[in-house]
């Protein structure tokens, strides 16, 4: 009965048809004849942007050569039964949405049973959570865009609404991001090998956990235990070399005290290098929701270049296209799950020893900076290492003016895998930091001094 009512309204009620037809699938209909009628209606609306009449449906059926006699009679019987019905618009839309949801769940359950019984050669049991979550997410989204005039007051409220962000425990990172990491964003650290990409991500992950956030750390470079070891050194305030010699009781007490300070969870998941893509990450997120009731507030991917691309899996493409695709897929994941994603990338060989890393020093693909919302370089030299500091240079920033605090220094404790704020005197003489350096001659002189690595020590401390 409901299927016939839906088909009738698709033919005779234009507002209803345009509202619901993008969300209905032919597989939702139980009868073969209803599926055929719906597919004809859908194809006609898509091609001609108009509703077909009953006569048009009959002509389309007559032109089909894939129907046997019984199917032909069934389809024509359904077409002849379609009549214009006076239905409350809200009621019929709501009823259709409920019917779509019920049918989607039923089909997903049948498909899951087939997979569980081993009767599906294309999918394994790991696909079941994703199939069910897709079915449960079926709904009619009425939002078709922002109306500049009619939605002006909503826009004004948006300007004055405090956006939920995840703050850093580092002053200058909060300054350049206007208070922390924004949701639905991709944030990338650029650095050479051994400079501190993983250290930075482990420090920020530890900070987020202390804030009571749920953190997902995906690693494809180091084992889960190695990442956990670095976070242990940070959170337990112990030299990483001393962790193995720490008595078990003392270690357990420290972890228990830490657990009492936060309600957040930190999940570390390891994948083999270059084998996992966004599809695997989505499956992991579904598993966390179903098995552990955990929804991450922030995701770390260590690191972007050694992910696989879901779009180009098995394809041979150049590195520019491949890495750009990975970045786009990760940013899409951030938008879909309403979380910030933090990752990292390597510098080129030329950028490895540079004291002034730029966007052009991004390895493999310049498409990565084009996709990222925030991109910054981590720079280390012998002089900075001697002062236990690391320099940060903004490369791209959609949150704030990137010329403000363009460069700044952080303290670094590699033994405890920590970053910390340093005294203001370490910032004031950094070139192009967004602060007032005086007249033009002084600025030119500072640029020349900064480009000489031997004078970095005098630049960092006045």
CB 214 within 8 A of CB 295: yes
Question: 143 lies in a domain?
Answer: no
CB 151 within 8 A of CB 135: no
Structure tokens at 255: 């972890």
Question: 154 lies in a domain?
Answer: no
Q: CA torsion sign, 353 to 355 to 360 to 366?
A: positive
| Angle (CA) 350 354 359, round 5° | 70
Nearest to 319 by CA among 330, 310, 329, 309: 309
Q: What is the CATH number of the domain that holds 303?
A: 3.40.50.300
Structure tokens at 175: 């300054």
pLDDT at 428: 63
pLDDT at 430: 62
Whether 311 and 180 map to the same domain: the answer is: yes
Question: 152 lies in a domain?
Answer: no
Cis peptide before 303 (omega within 30 of 0): yes
pLDDT at 183: 92
Question: 258 lies in a domain?
Answer: yes
Domain boundary among 115, 136, 157: 136
Question: 43 lies in a domain?
Answer: yes
Could you read off the pLDDT of 146-186 as tens digits, one per residue?
888 988 998 888 788 777 899 999 999 999 999 999 999 99
Write phi, then psi, for 434 (nearest 5 degrees). 95, 0
Question: 149 lies in a domain?
Answer: no
Residues of the chain with pLDDT under 70: 141-144, 314, 349-355, 364, 425-462
Task: For residue 434, give the DSSP letter.
Answer: S
Return the half-sphere exposure (C-beta side, CA atoms, 13 A cut-off) of residue 87: 22
Give the chain's domain count: 2
Domain containing residue 184: 165-460
pLDDT at 89: 87
> What's the whole-model pTM score?
0.66
pLDDT at 90: 87
Contacts of 106-110 spanning 24+ positions with Cβ under 8 A: 107/27, 107/28, 107/135, 108/132, 108/134, 108/135
Whether 116 and 184 map to the same domain: the answer is: no
Contacts of 109 (CB under 8 A, 6+ apart): 132
CB 230 within 8 A of CB 417: yes
Question: 24 lies in a domain?
Answer: yes
Task: For residue 390, give the DSSP letter.
Answer: E
CB 339 within 8 A of CB 296: yes
Contacts of 8 (CB under 8 A, 6+ apart): 82, 83, 84, 85
Helix 69-81 and helix 54-62, axial crossing angle in degrees, nearest 10: 170
Task: For residue 309, give the DSSP letter.
Answer: P
Separation between Cα atoms, residue 10 and residue 2, nearest integer Å = 12
Question: 159 lies in a domain?
Answer: no
Whether 171 and 127 map to the same domain: the answer is: no
Whether 305 and 172 map to the same domain: the answer is: yes
Whether 305 and 410 map to the same domain: the answer is: yes
Separation between Cα atoms, residue 239 and residue 237, nearest integer Å = 7
Q: What is the CATH number of the domain that holds 21?
A: 1.10.860
């Amino acid at each position: 009965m409901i299927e016939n009512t839906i088909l009738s309204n698709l033919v005779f009620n234009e507002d209803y048809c345009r509202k619901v037809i993008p969300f209905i699938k032919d597989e939702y209909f139980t009868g073969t004849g209803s599926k055929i009628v719906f597919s004809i209606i859908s194809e006609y609306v898509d091609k001609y942007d108009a509703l077909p009449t009953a006569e048009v449906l009959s002509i389309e059926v007559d032109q089909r050569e894939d129907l046997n006699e019984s199917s032909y009679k069934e389809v024509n019987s359904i077409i002849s039964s379609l009549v214009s019905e006076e239905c409350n618009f809200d009621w019929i839309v709501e009823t259709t949405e409920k019917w779509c949801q019920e049918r989607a769940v039923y089909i997903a359950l049948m498909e899951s049973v087939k997979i569980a019984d081993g009767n599906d050669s294309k999918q394994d049991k790991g696909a079941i959570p994703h199939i069910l979550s897709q079915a449960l997410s079926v709904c009619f989204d009425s939002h078709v865009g922002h109306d500049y005039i009619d939605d002006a007051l909503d826009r004004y409220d948006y300007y004055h609404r405090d956006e939920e962000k995840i703050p850093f425990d580092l002053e200058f990172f909060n300054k350049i991001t206007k208070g922390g990491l924004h949701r639905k964003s991709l944030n990338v650290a650029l650095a050479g090998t051994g400079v501190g990409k993983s250290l930075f991500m482990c420090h920020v992950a530890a900070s987020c956990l202390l804030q009571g956030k749920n953190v997902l750390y995906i690693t494809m470079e180091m084992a889960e235990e190695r990442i956990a070891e670095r976070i242990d050194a940070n959170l337990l305030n112990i030299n990483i070399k001393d962790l193995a010699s720490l008595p078990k009781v003392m270690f357990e007490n420290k972890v228990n005290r830490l657990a009492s300070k936060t309600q957040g969870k930190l999940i570390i998941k390891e994948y083999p290098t270059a084998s996992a893509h966004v599809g695997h990450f989505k499956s992991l997120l579904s598993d966390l929701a179903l098995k552990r009731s955990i929804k991450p507030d922030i995701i770390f991917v260590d690191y972007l270049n050694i992910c696989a691309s879901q779009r180009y899996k098995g394809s041979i493409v150049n590195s520019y296209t491949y890495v750009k695709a990975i970045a786009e897929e990760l940013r899409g994941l951030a938008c879909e799950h309403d979380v910030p994603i933090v990752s990292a990338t390597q510098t080129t060989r030329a950028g490895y020893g540079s004291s002034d890393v730029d966007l052009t020093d991004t390895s493999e693909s310049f498409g990565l900076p084009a996709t990222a919302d925030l991109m910054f370089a981590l720079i280390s030299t012998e002089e900075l290492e001697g002062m236990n500091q690391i320099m940060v240079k903004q490369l791209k920033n959609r949150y704030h003016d990137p010329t403000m605090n363009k460069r700044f220094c952080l303290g670094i404790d590699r033994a405890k895998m920590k970053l910390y704020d340093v005294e203001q005197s370490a910032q004031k003489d950094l070139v192009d930091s967004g602060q007032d350096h005086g007249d033009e001659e002084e600025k030119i002189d500072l640029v020349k001094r900064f480009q000489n690595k031997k004078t970095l020590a005098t630049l960092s401390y006045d």
